[in-house]
Structure 1
Amino acid sequence: MSLKLYYDALSQPSRALLIFLQSSNIPFTRCVVNLGKGEHLTEEYKNEVSRFQKVPVIVHGDFRLTESVGILRYLCREYTVPDHFYPKDSKLQARVDEYLEWQHNNIRMFCALYFQKKWLLPKITGEPASEKTIAEYEHRMIDGIDNFERCWLQSGSFIAGDNLSAADIWAACELEQPRIAGYDAAEGRPILSRWLSRVRDELNPHYEEAHTFLNKLVHLNRKAKSAKL
């Protein structure tokens, strides 16, 4: 049964699934959806891919599924994947789930809102956000990242223990996002920095490939900022 992944590399959960699929050697077809061009907003996309008109989405035969964490769990039931990503042991799996449920109102929300307010919305509207607004969202994000480091990275090499899991993939992809807007979560945080380096090393070359577009944007933004100085 064929598997298709609809994704945009600018989407954090899209990158997480892309990395997971490649690292698990699950065969799939890439279906790139350009969010910037509104390809997800067409009637065709709504009717044939996702009624929610979002990414990521998988189409497995005649079965369609959205929401990256739900997709992860489905894929782990349908395919044979390395156990450390989403362990079959109930307690170990619960630790991965614990993070995946926690992240939505924490790391994902804070990093995504900062990215949207500082970089994405000004890009779309042509109107820069106020310094006060950016400062407020940055403060929330920093508190969230500090909380992440304190709660999840103090014991073991990875989030759910000594082995890399899906929790690390999903967290790393969220923490990479603010770099586009000029904020590096690893800077000044040695514990987080070492963890992120371990995640990248464990998942390469797929990790770097998935972040090629993001890294290009980071480079272009730094270049543009330097040119203004």
Structure 2
Amino acid sequence: MELYLDLFSQPCRSVYIFAKKNNIPFEFKQLSLMDGEQYGEEFGKINLIRKAPALRDGDFCLAESIAILLYLAEKYKTPDFWYPPDLQQRARINEYLSWQHMAIRMHGSKIFWLRLMIPKVLGVDVPQDKLDAALEDLNGSLKLLEDKFIQDRPFIAGEHISLADLVAIVEVMQPVGSGLDVFEGRPKLSAWRDRVQAAIGKELFDEAHQIILGAQERVKLLDAGKLQFFKPKILKLFL
């Protein structure tokens, strides 16, 4: 089985952590989204959506991180706590997975691009009002993560880590890569992060996040010219 991943990407990190944590055998196919490798002819045969992660298992190809996580959980019979058979626990996980796309994911990504990639790599000044609005949106989503999804439970679905926590933590860590400490002043979120990290294992957690947490240094080495092709799309999306 092949997994096409770029650990700069949040969904790729969730798939990578899940596969490694559960000792799922796979061939790591490194894909550089910043270099536009997802638009190559060979990758197009695997994923016409041209996004990472992507999975190829024999002749079977699959896109979208949530679908890949569920496929891996079911094929490899991973421990029940990841995606419990209990109807209400599973519904709680599905609720978070359904919500997060247009909330934590969108707002965390936007902060990452507005604070780091657009000004430092593309060389475009970001208006303060745009940055303030994006931060307000992110803060709103983080508050909902605490108040609705975590509440007073150790994890989103209860006593054990689940796919919901895994998908959540990689998104929460994305703006941290831009230098924004989202855990400051949020003891509940910080305690949850510590529990998730412990459940994953600090070594694997750090390995998966090494690239994003070093992003402020890594962008200095990026070839800005390679992103110029995507510049109009990026600015339209985030500005």
- Structure 1 runs not aligned, ≥5 long: 222-229
Q: Residue 16 of structure 1 is aligned with which of 11, 14, 17? A: 14
Identity %: 36
Give the TM-score normalised by structure 1.
Answer: 0.90
Please tell me whether residue 154 in structure 1 is matched to residue 183 in structure 2. no
Structure 1 residue aligned with 2:52: 55
For the 8 Å contact 1:158–1:168, the answer to whether it is kept is yes
- C-alpha distance in 2, partners of 1:121/1:44? 29
- Structure 2 runs not aligned, ≥5 long: 220-239
State the superposition RMSD in angstroms: 1.5
Q: Residue 167 of structure 1 is aligned with which of 130, 141, 164? A: 164
1:119-143 CA deviation, whole Å, 9 max, x = no partner?
Answer: 2233442212122211111111111
- C-alpha distance in 2, partners of 1:128/1:201? 39
Residue 74 (structure 1) shift: 1.4
For the 8 Å contact 1:118–1:128, the answer to whether it is kept is no
Residue 89 (structure 1) shift: 2.4
Q: Residue 114 of structure 2 is aligned with which of 105, 114, 117? A: 117
Q: How many residues align?
A: 218
Residue 118 (structure 1) shift: 2.4
Q: Residue 42 of structure 1 is aligned with which of 40, 43, 50? A: 40
Counterpart of 1:57 in structure 2: which amino acid? A
Residue 106 (structure 1) shift: 1.3
1:5 aligns to what SS in structure 2?
strand
2:69 aligns to what SS in structure 1?
helix
- C-alpha distance in 2, partners of 1:22/1:35? 22
Structure 1 residue aligned with 2:182: 185
- C-alpha distance in 2, partners of 1:98/1:44? 35
For the 8 Å contact 1:100–1:167, the answer to whether it is kept is yes
- C-alpha distance in 2, partners of 1:92/1:133? 38
Counterparts in 2 of 1:1-229, with a 5 A limit?
Answer: 3-47=1-45, 49-204=46-201, 205-218=203-216
